[in-house]
A and B are shown apart, each in its own frame.
Chain A
Amino acid sequence: MATGAEQAHGAAAPGMPQLDFTTFPNQIFWLVVTLVVIYLVLTRLAIPRIATVLAERRGTVANDLATAEELKLKAQEAEATYEKALADARAEAQKIVAEARAEINRDLDAANARAEAEIAARLAESETRIAAIRDTATENVRAVARETAVEVARAILPAAASDPAALVSAVDRRMEMEGGA
């Protein structure tokens, strides 16, 4: 049954269609036509167009790279200028700071000198006043000492009190000695 069907089928289409030589001229004719058409499409339209686009793209990319390089150089230049401006500004600032410091120092020195002079003047004045007070005190002590010496002498030794002038000079001498010691 199966073999019969196969035989019938075999009779309908003998063997491989690939080996049916009666179809070869048709296939080869249309193959040649097709290849020629594809060749014309490629050489007239596709290949020039794609080649142009690719070349254009290469050109654009190269241009862009060159522009980028140029811009990079410019940026570096700008950075250098900026750095220089920054350094200049820093130097200027330092100069100004130094000047200000010097001025302040000068003012400070002047104020110090003034203050010292004033202090010295006050000191001198105080000393004079102290000296005056001390002189007054010495005079008072001397007077008290004379009076006391005279009174003491009068009380203990009335004979000696007859000459108060000698007593006074003795007290003075003594005081001179004490002061000297």
Chain B
Amino acid sequence: MAVEDGGGLSIKPMDQFIVKPLFRDIEPGSCMPPEIVEGCLKWYEPSNVTLWMGLGIVATLLLLVVGTRGRAIIPSRSQSMAELTYGFVHQMVEDVAGKDALKFFPYIMTLFMFILFANVLGLIPMSFTTTSHIAVTATMAIAVFVTVTAIGFVKNGAGFLKLFWVDAAPLALRPVLAVIELISYFVRPVSHSVRLAGAIMAGHAVMKVFAGFAAIALVAPLALGGMVAIYGLELLVAFIQAYVFTILTCVYLRDALHPSH
């Protein structure tokens, strides 16, 4: 939304990310915990997050359940797409994390479907993109981190620590490398979550900025062309980021199952 305001443009590229309740209006600035709480979003309250996550569930149901209702040997178009999605993730888990990781396939598929549809539905104009929030991506990244670390220790016991002890390096370097490896291991959830939220947020903000500039007649054609280009790019990013998050999960899972380098 851009309004020419006394010679200055007021483009609010971040307003699209505001989390608000679905069924009531909150007075801006009326949530200042712990003192002022009447304008705060309650944790159980249906919000635009609820709406768009719910639509993601509906989309998943449509693609994977309604699409495959024929159970045909020769698949229909929708069943073909569902099988393609299934095969894509299944193949990824098997290739990247190994055959013994296939029992975690449903969890990884859950993450992939959620992120994919959150990203794609977020590209609908006026929609809300749940994966643009660090709260969402960090929760998933931390869940992956904790689960994978737990799997590593359960499967390999103390042998999991070999992940940090690089046998290929000279002995003198190994403690140094162990520290570096340990730091990089704990940075994983940060990069894992910030990559997704950052890419999605940046893309959506850039689109809003372009949309704002479209209000100025002089640069409107340029801004509109830019928006089309950025929209195409964002469509690509929506898929790629879902893919990247999932494949990194598989890589971490492989490290947990086979910690030796």
Contacts and interface: CB of A to CB of B under 8 A. Distances in A.
B7 A27 contact: no
A34 B49 CA distance: 10
Interface stretch (A6-14, A88-96, A124-132): A6-14
B7 A1 contact: yes
A11 B29 contact: yes
* Secondary structure type dominating chain A contacts: helix
A32 B142 CA distance: 13
Contacts of B15: 13, 17
A19 B135 CA distance: 8
Contacts of A60: 73
A54 B75 CA distance: 10
Contacts, number: 156
Contact of B135 (A13, A27, A33, A41): A27
Interface of B: 5-8, 10, 12, 14-15, 17-19, 28-29, 31, 33, 40-45, 47, 49-50, 53-54, 56-57, 60-61, 64-65, 68, 71-73, 75, 79, 82-83, 86-87, 105-107, 109-111, 113-114, 130, 132-136, 139-140, 197, 201
Interface of A: 1-2, 5-6, 9, 11-14, 16-20, 22-35, 37-39, 41-43, 45-47, 49-54, 56-57, 60
Given A2-B10, A17-B19, A38-B113, 17 more contacts: A2-B8, A5-B10, A17-B15, A20-B18, A22-B40, A35-B140, A41-B65, A42-B60, A42-B64, A42-B110, A43-B106, A45-B64, A45-B65, A47-B86, A47-B105, A53-B73, A54-B86
